[in-house]
Chains A and B, each alone.
Chain A
Amino acid sequence: MIDSHLIACHDCDLLLKPPSLRPGAVACCPRCGATLYREIKHGHERVLAFALAAVVLYLLANCFPIMSLEISGTKVSCTLVGAALALWNQGIQTLSILVMATTVIVPGLQLLILLYLLIPMQLRHMPPYVPELLRTLQLLRPWSMIEVFMLGILVSLSKLAAMAQVIPGIALWSFAVLMFMMTAVFAAFDARRVWRLLPVMQ
């Protein structure tokens, strides 16, 4: 038996009747205060636009150097993958994998999954493996750390500025914009709307 007219708070298990909200409003649990869901104004074409822009920024951020350093005539520049490779070559593979996973692999997978879901849905077609991919998207969420990495760039920039001349690269600006774009993507993506389109097995 399915009780589709009720929801339960994910943080305290309280049974609730989900109210219909004005667009942009947030539903909070009356017992524990957890955010239950927010009513998102716009359709998924907006998410798709943000996601496509994010893909371009993602490619720029990963292909170009983040910054260059100049000490007495020698210039060294470094991409994100280059930094992870340097860690790998020093024998610290665990850290290398951790850095790659949280800044390259997870955000890349998130964007791929979103495009895979949203492009067919724009064409009124439901692709296969939607439940699995939505669950993966939810699982990946805490491990995407673009914004933390951006702060890491700023801290290392100021540390390095003390010892050499530092030149910010294209990827630095791309990461800064990508950070906002990823936030915009997930603020506009309404997973509930996709879940509701899926059939419930009786």
Chain B
Amino acid sequence: MSADQPHINSDADSATAKAPLTAVRAGLLNCHACGLLSRPTAHEAKRCPRCGAHLHSRKPDSITRTWALLAAAFILYIPANLLPVMHTSSILYSEDDTIMSGVIYLWTSGSWPLAILVFCASITVPLAKLIALTTLNWSVQRSSRWKQQERARLYRLVELVGRWSMLDIFVVALMVGLVHFRALATITAGPGAIAFGAVVVITMFAAMTFDPRLIWDPENNQDE
């Protein structure tokens, strides 16, 4: 990546004191797929004239859909953390591992950098992501103008880090795939892993249905 990030100077930029000129105010639709701006015609279905994608000025029912997905993720977050994600059985012992006990095991066995990493990816990130998206969706629903830049940055962070929560799913899959020494030791996946996988996927969808442009819309409508 280049060190300098030139900012765009435009007429729209200098007009920030008043309501800035957005695509919606100009009566234009921005194609989410190819980035083409077009002026919708009234009589036909709104499709991008270049790539054919359906055009919406804002993602349809963004707030409601995001709430629904967040609610599902919050509910599943509980079994994801309480139920075992992995079951180890061997001739000497048999034990159930939850996500937290897996982290504690890594910590006590001396690999604390990995313990911190797994703790961040599996426990901190999913919870922080749920809280962040709830805050974003709630502030957008209230048409809040509070800290817009910070909220925009928070949204981009949520989009960026969400995928790393899949870490634990991959670890479980590899352990299950490798450890099946019939009599000696066998590892099986537990129900917690399904719930955890569902939380990761659902929060990724929640981040996708949330429309960051709604953060800025109260400003757009300020002189109306």
A contact residues vs B (CB 8 Å cutoff): 1-4, 6-8, 10-19, 21-22, 24-34, 36, 38, 66-67, 69, 71-72, 74, 76-78, 82-87, 90, 92, 94-96, 98-99, 102-103, 131-132, 134-135, 138, 142, 145, 148-149, 151-156, 158-160, 162-163, 192, 195, 198-202
Segment among B6-14, B68-76, B133-141 that sits at the interface with chain A: B6-14
Contact A158 to B201, CB < 8 A, known contacts A16-B10, A26-B5: no
B189 cross-chain contacts in A, Cβ below 8 A: 87, 90, 92, 95
Residues in A with CB closer than 8 Å to B220 are 13
Q: Mark B195-214, 1 if CB is under 8 A from A, else 0.
A: 00110010010001000110
Closest 3 pairs between A and B when the two form their complex, measured CB to CB? A83-B177, A152-B170, A131-B51
Residues from 2 to 60 in B contacting A, C-beta threshold 8 Å: 2, 4-13, 16, 20-24, 26, 28, 30, 32-39, 49-53, 57
Q: How far, in whole Å, are A84 and B38 apart by their CA atoms in the complex?
A: 45
Please count how many residues in chain B sit with their CB below 8 Å of the partner chain's CB atoms: 86
Q: Judging by beta carbons under 8 Å apart, are B176 and A86 in contact?
A: yes
A-B contact count (CB 8 A): 259
Chain A facing B: main interface SS: mixed
| Residue contact A28 to B12, C-beta cutoff 8 Å | no
Nearest CB in chain A: distance from B59 CB, A = 11
- Determine the chain B residues whose CB is within 8 A of the CB of A156 once the complex forms: 170-171, 174-175, 178
Is A84 a contact partner of B10 (Cβ separation < 8 A)?
no
User: B216–A31 contact, CB under 8 A?
Assistant: yes
A-B contact pairs, 8 of them (CB 8 A): A28-B5, A28-B8, A34-B212, A36-B8, A77-B178, A87-B177, A152-B166, A155-B117
Q: B224 to nearest A CB, angstroms? A: 15
Looking at the assembled complex, report how far the CB atom of B19 sits from the nearest CB atom of chain A, in whole angstroms: 11
Checking A22, A34, A142 against B204 with a beta-carbon cut-off of 8 angstroms, the contacting residue is A142
What residue of chain B has the Cβ atom nearest to residue A192's Cβ? B35
Cross-chain contact of A158 among B4, B114, B184 (Cβ < 8 A): B114
Cα A72 to Cα B152 with chains together (Å): 55
